[in-house]
Structure 1
Amino acid sequence: MTHDLRICFVGDSYVAGVGDPRFLGWAGRLAARTIAAGQPLTGYNLGVRRQTSSDVLNRFEDECGQRLAPATDPRVVLSVGVNDATLENGRPRVAPDESSANLTRLLDRATANDWSVLVVAPPPVADPGHQARTAGLDREFARICRTAGIPYVPVHQPLAANPVWIHEVRTGDGAHPAEAGYDAIADLIAPHWDTWLRAVPTTSGRG
């Protein structure tokens, strides 16, 4: 059977690559890198600006299912959290406990569908309060993935200490980097991505 590798990149504006003048974001960079190395794949960018983990949960199974059902190697890269930690009316758009529950549900649904998952941490932002809340989600998301045996890419702390990322975020809209920042996050994800892609598929395909 032909190896049909399909990957849905699911999440928020960072997944969509908002701010990148090349319109690739980190997802496009990783896919292009893999194809250049000789591994064919079909990638679907399902990043939506301003969406929280609750929003992503509501569309996750339907949108991914339509794209991954025929694949012999169906996979999902998931990244949420920054919008959860944004304040609206004096409180986070999604409470931390609910964010954690949403991630657990997303992982459970992926597992039930035999979709291999890689989770990328929410990246840092410029506002100190927002940043502290996002860092808290990063720690909790790492714990959840560790418990579930799901690979987690810890980009948050390295990017918070990366002068290129911080400069581009601060000189941009306070949240999104430009080209060099997306290069930086893609470089952090790449080793974890490579290891994940080398893992043997857990499903023989559907349809």
Structure 2
Amino acid sequence: MQDLRLCCVGDSFTAGAGDETALGWPGRVAAAAWPRGVAVTAYNLGVRRDTSADIRRRAEAEVLARLLATGGDAHAVVFCFGANDATFEDGLPRVPPEASRDNAVALLGWSAARWPTLLLGPPPVLHDAAQDARVAALGPVLAAVAAALEVPFLPLHGPLSASHAWRAGAARGDGVHPDAAGYAAMAALVEAWPAWRRLSGG
């Protein structure tokens, strides 16, 4: 069995906020890889309210601490960020789109030079239509960065906006974070993604 050490770096959607099973998407995709012969150790490095700027400040130390000293046959990093960048505070986004782009360039460039690296687009934030529109607009910006750096990118905003499980789960919770069924829908998108399957025994 292959031993894959995986760092999942992001915000509350990576941490699995709102999921009563405490699995989020990282726990689900890691569990699904085991029957395919890949023993995934998933390090959940999701922090609530983190923007791309916050993640840029902490990612190197946190990822290196887990991937350089832990052995394993293979290592990989999956990033997911952007929703908090688009949050308005004092009339301005917490991170402007051009700064989000620069942060993505730095994060993906650093990681992809060392390990297989994937980027998930930001999920929808359905409680606030204006913020959700900004999140939707940020997705293509991040996709362009990923394409330039040859990092696989998975758009999540459109599919999850159309997902009854995601929408209903968020409505039952705080309006932003889904419940277990919503995270299962997110995990299913990752699980079906060829880039993830190549890493995880697909």
TM range (shorter): over 0.9
Instruction: Name 1:24's counterpart in structure 2.
Output: 23
> How much does 1:163 deviate?
2.0
Instruction: Please give the TM-score of this superposition, normalised by the length of structure 2.
Output: 0.92
Q: Deviations over 1:70-125 (max 9, x none)?
A: 4442110100000111111111110110001101100111123x111111110001
Instruction: Name 1:205's counterpart in structure 2.
Output: none
> How much does 1:191 deviate?
1.9
Alpha-carbon separation, structure 2, partners of 1:41 and 1:183: 18
Q: Percent identity?
A: 43
Residue identity opposite 1:46 in structure 2: L
SS at 1:27 equivalent: helix
Residue identity opposite 1:14 in structure 2: F
Alpha-carbon separation, structure 1, partners of 2:72 and 2:199: 17
Q: Deviations over 1:122-145 (max 9, x none)?
A: 000111001000001111111111
Alpha-carbon separation, structure 2, partners of 1:76 and 1:55: 17
Instruction: Please give the TM-score of this superposition, normalised by the length of structure 1.
Output: 0.90
- Gaps of at least 5 residues in structure 1 are 200-207
SS at 1:119 equivalent: strand
4+ residue runs over 3 A deviation: 196-199
Q: Deviations over 1:140-171 (max 9, x none)?
A: 11111112111111111011111221122133
Residues 36 and 200, structure 2, Cα contact 8 Å, conserved in 1: no
Q: Count the aligned residue pairs.
A: 197
Q: Does 1:117 align with 2:121?
A: no
Alpha-carbon separation, structure 2, partners of 1:106 and 1:49: 18
Instruction: Name 1:59's counterpart in structure 2.
Output: 58
> How much does 1:174 deviate?
1.7
Alpha-carbon separation, structure 2, partners of 1:198 and 1:54: 32
Alpha-carbon separation, structure 2, partners of 1:111 and 1:145: 10
Instruction: Name 1:73's counterpart in structure 2.
Output: 74
> How much does 1:41 deviate?
2.2
Alpha-carbon separation, structure 1, partners of 2:17 and 2:2: 31
Instruction: Name 1:34's counterpart in structure 2.
Output: 33
Instruction: Name 1:135's counterpart in structure 2.
Output: 136
Match of 2:198 among 175, 184, 195: 195
Instruction: Name 1:99's counterpart in structure 2.
Output: 100
Alpha-carbon separation, structure 1, partners of 2:20 and 2:78: 22
SS at 1:124 equivalent: coil
- Please provide the CA RMSD for this pair: 1.6
Task: After superposing the two structures, state which structure 1 stretch, 65-74 or 137-146, moved more.
Answer: 65-74
Instruction: Name 2:6's counterpart in structure 1.
Output: 7
Alpha-carbon separation, structure 2, partners of 1:3 and 1:165: 32
SS at 2:176 equivalent: coil
Q: Deviations over 1:170-203 (max 9, x none)?
A: 332121000110111111111222134359xxxx
> How much does 1:4 deviate?
3.9
Alpha-carbon separation, structure 2, partners of 1:79 and 1:66: 19
- Gaps of at least 5 residues in structure 2 are none
Alpha-carbon separation, structure 2, partners of 1:92 and 1:49: 17
